Amino acid sequence: MGDDEAVSTARRLLKLREAEQPRLKRIADYMCGQHASVYVPRGARAEYRWLIDRAKVKILPLVVTVVSQNMYVDGYRPKGSDDNAAPWAVWQANRLDARQHGVHRAALTYGASYVVVMPGKPVPVITPFSPRRLTALYADPVNDEWPIFAIEDRLENTVKGQRRVVRVYDDQARYTLTGKPDGTELRLDGDNAVMQHNLGVCPVVRFVNTDDLDGDGVLGEVEPLIDAQDQLNMTTFNLLMAQQYAAFRQRWVTGMAPPVDDAGNPIEPFRSRVDGLFVAEDADTRFGEFGQTDLKGYLDSREATIRHISTLSQVPPYHLLGQMVNLSAEALAAARDGLDRKIDERESLFGEGWEQALRLAGLAAGDKRAWEDTAAQVVWRDTSARSLAQTVDALGKLVTMLGVPPQELWERVPGVTQTDVGRWKKAAEQGDAMGRLNGIIEKQMSQPRAAAPVGPVPGVAA
């Protein structure tokens, strides 16, 4: 791709990218708590607006967090092997044990996220991206494994101020362009503008939250819940209004002329206080009070909306409501059933993305065998809510009743990492070797010694 073609391609991709940015910006605003406001009448007082600012229940981030915290890639295994494949070293070098969560959260939030794999020293570089910073263009967005182009767009701070940095990826190279913050005057950025990767594919891998066969665009966890979030905020605002103005008993008085000040202006006859008493000299004066507003209806309405969000998102209600009273193991498993099925589906979708990325990392490292290994699979950590005692008991029965080797079940123990399993296996192998050595020694020690020959000892006179 020549200089002029790189610039024109970047401008075309930036224009295509603009179409999805308002939707992504709206989702990001709701994740940050910048929700749409409730209705504000003209001439609303400062107190009214003060209540609006506090009538926001930020529940959408929790919906994403509950799913994301149950997803953790713990290994990458070739078919028929218990050891991680060679590209797993690239994973570790790129700190993806921690950075994988950003990829999962972005895909859950917006519906898609990306990683870019580029050759590097000493290992290839894997860089995660949100769809707000990178967009990939596919000939067939439903069935194509690799995009035609991808464009990365960001603002960069320099000594002279901000500048726009745009990177275009194709199947042979990465092109870096710079320009003004508004995107004008884009040009290739000096001698390092073009980086040849020669991978033969555009080095961008997409992670999707749902598998869309219609090509209408992927959908995240947040967007379908925005209307329910607005309903929750409206109910919360009404609750705060009732608390502020009607949740206490108001008193009234009749049959009494209001007192006046020295200028003849009426003044308030009474001031409510804890240690005060209303007294009037006129026998026709009557006192009374209005009952306070019952807040239970507002609270029940809020809880109903949260349960509705729980149903739509398949997140158990106890995560969103904080209510968990005497749940048995069976009840807890039933409550988590929808969430577990959802996590299984997301692991299947995201797992294909990580396998594609690790294959590409093998190609970028010059490992043709890793690139051609389409049978290798990522291993997900088991995060199911099960009792450790029950799990170990079940695994023990698999060993004793079905004859499953114990080493094959170690990784199924909750909370155990692949590092733990590797260390246990090494210790077990050393223990087996010592056991065999001790057996040989004991066998030798238990055998009877041969009798000494009878006769003169050489060198000793008879």
Q: What is the pLDDT of residue 257?
A: 74
From the list 27, 420, 16, 90, the residue with the least C-alpha distance to 229 is 27
Tell me the pLDDT tens digit for each residue of 315-340.
Answer: 888 888 876 656 666 666 677 788 88
Q: pTM score, two decimals?
A: 0.79
The mean pLDDT of 223-235, rounded to a whole number, is 93
The count of residues in the chain is 462
Query: Exposure string (b/e) for 109-136, b if CB count within 10 Å is 16 or more?
Result: bbbbbbbbbbbeeebbebebbbbbebbb
Q: Which residue has the higher pLDDT, 452 or 178?
A: 178
Domain ranges of the chain: 249-291, 386-441
What phi, psi does 207 have (nearest 5°)? Answer: -110, 130
Q: How confident is the model at residue 295 (pLDDT cuts 50, 70, 90)?
A: confident
Distance CA 86, CA 77 (A): 9
Tell me the pLDDT tens digit for each residue of 253-272.
Answer: 887 777 778 887 877 776 66
210, 280, 286, 290 from 255: Cα distances, Å: 70, 10, 6, 17
Residues 6+ apart with CB under 8 A from 64: 31, 105, 108, 109, 221, 222
- The neighbour count for residue 370, using CB atoms within 10 Å, is 23
Q: Which residue has the tokens 């997140």?
A: 315
- What does R_g of the chain's alpha carbons equal in angstroms? 35
- Check pLDDT > 60 for residue 363: yes
From the list 325, 344, 348, the residue with the least C-alpha distance to 336 is 344
The mean pLDDT of 119-141, rounded to a whole number, is 93
Distance CA 421, CA 410 (A): 6
The mean pLDDT of 279-307, rounded to a whole number, is 83
Strands 134-137 and 286-290: unpaired
Residues 6+ apart with CB under 8 A from 258: 266, 267, 268, 269
Tell me the pLDDT tens digit for each residue of 161-214.
Answer: 889 999 999 999 999 999 888 888 888 887 778 999 999 999 999 999 998 888
Q: How confident is the model at residue 449 (pLDDT cuts 50, 70, 90)?
A: low
- The neighbour count for residue 172, using CB atoms within 10 Å, is 14
Average confidence score pLDDT of the chain: 84
From the list 340, 307, 301, the residue with the least C-alpha distance to 322 is 307
Distance CA 462, CA 460 (A): 6
Residues 6+ apart with CB under 8 A from 319: 62, 66, 310
47, 245, 326, 401 from 18: Cα distances, Å: 39, 46, 51, 61
Longest dimension (CA), the chain: 151
Q: How confident is the model at residue 245 (pLDDT cuts 50, 70, 90)?
A: confident
